[in-house]
Amino acid sequence: MMEHIKGMKFFDSHIHMSSRTTDDYERMAQAGIVAIIEPAFWMGQPRTEVGTFKDYFSSLIGWERFRASQFGIKHYCTIGLNSKEANNEALAEQVMEILPMFVAKEGVVGVGEIGYDDQTPAEDKYFRAQLELAKEMNLPVQVHTPHRDKKQGTIKSMEVILEHGIDPGMVVIDHNNEETVKDVLDRGFWAAFTIYPNTKMGNERMAAVVQQYGPERIIVDSSADWGVSDPLSVPKTAALMLDKGIPKDHVEKTCYYNPLEAYAQSGQLKESDWLERAPIDQREMFSDNTVLRGQTPKIENESNIIR
C-alpha cells in the first residue's frame, strides 16, 4: 500500500521527536516526511524546577532542530506550558515568566500545545494567559483537547479562544474525533487529528472523516511520543486514503498543504525552507556532539539531494 505514496511529500505537524530515535528520523525521511512540528509537552512525570523547562525548551530550538536536519527533515516547534503541569501553580507562574523569551525564538511557529486536561481552574487560568501571549506575539495556537469529556472540553476550548478575540483561522484544535469535527469546522478552526494506535484516531476512521467532510481545514498528524506510537502515521494514513479512492489532492491537503498554510502564519515557516535545504553533512556538530556513533557519515552535495 505504501507504493501509492512514492514521490509524495508529508508534513507531520504534531510529533514529539525528543522521545524518538535517529532510526525514526531515517524511516520518516524515506517515507517522504520533509517537515515536522514538535509541540512542547510533558515528559511523563512532572517537572519540579523551572530550569528543567528552560533546558527542554532550549533543546527544541537547538539540538532537536539540528538532529532533524541531519536526516534532511526541517524541524519547527511550538512552545507552551502543557495543561497537566499547569496545575502546579507555583511552578506554572515561573514558566509563564520565561515563555515570552522562548516563543520569540527562530523556528517557533506557535504557542502550544496548550489547553485542558482535567479542565481545572488552574488549567483555565494558564490557558487564557497563553492565549493572550499568542495574541501579543501574533502566533498560531496549537490546542490540546482533553481525552476525558472530549466534546465538552473541545467546545469549551473554542469558546474561551473566541472570548479572547482570537481569529479561529489562527488556531489548530488537535486530537479531534468524529464527535468533535463538525463543531470545530463549523466555527472556522483548523481540525487536526492524531493517528495513534488504539487510542485517539485510527487511520481507517481518519479516511472516513475525510470522505465525509472533505479536506478543507483538516490536518493529519501522528503525535508520536514516548508511548506506543508510530512516527509514520501520516504517510501510512495517506496511503490508506489513496487506496480507498480519496483524491490525491485531498490527501495532499490534509497531510501536507493544510499544516503548511496554518503554521506559515507565524512568519517562521515557508515551503522553500525544505525544498531548498542545504545538503546533509553528518560530520557537522552541535555543542560538540553529532548524530553519529561510529557509522560512516552521510554526505550530500547539491547534485545528489533528493527533493
Residue 289 lies in a domain: no
Name the grid cell of 205: 476512521
Name the grid cell of 192: 487536526
Instruction: Give me the residue label for grid cell 481540525.
Output: 191
Residue 304 lies in a domain: no
Q: Which residues of the chain are modeled with pLDDT < 70?
A: 1, 197-201, 302-307
What is the pTM for the complete model shown? Answer: 0.95
Closest CA to 110 of 46, 160, 60: 60
DSSP 8-class letter at 256: I
The region, left, alpha or beta by phi > 0 then psi within -120 to 50, assigned to residue 274 is alpha
CA neighbours closer than 13 Å in the CB half-sphere of residue 266: 30
Count structural domains, the chain: 1
Residue 117 lies in a domain: yes
State residue 303's pLDDT score: 62
State residue 305's pLDDT score: 65
State residue 292's pLDDT score: 87
Residue 277 lies in a domain: no
Give the domain extent around 208: 2-272
Residue count of the chain: 307
Residue 152 lies in a domain: yes
Alpha helices, DSSP H, located in 192-245: 203-213, 233-243
State residue 307's pLDDT score: 52
Q: Residue 267: count other Cβ atoms within 10 Å of its Cβ.
A: 10
Residue 139 lies in a domain: yes
Instruction: Give me the residue label for grid cell 467532510.
Output: 213
Closest CA to 40 of 85, 70, 72, 73: 85
DSSP 8-class letter at 157: H
Give me the CATH number covering residue 227. 3.20.20.140
Residue 291 lies in a domain: no
Residue 122 lies in a domain: yes
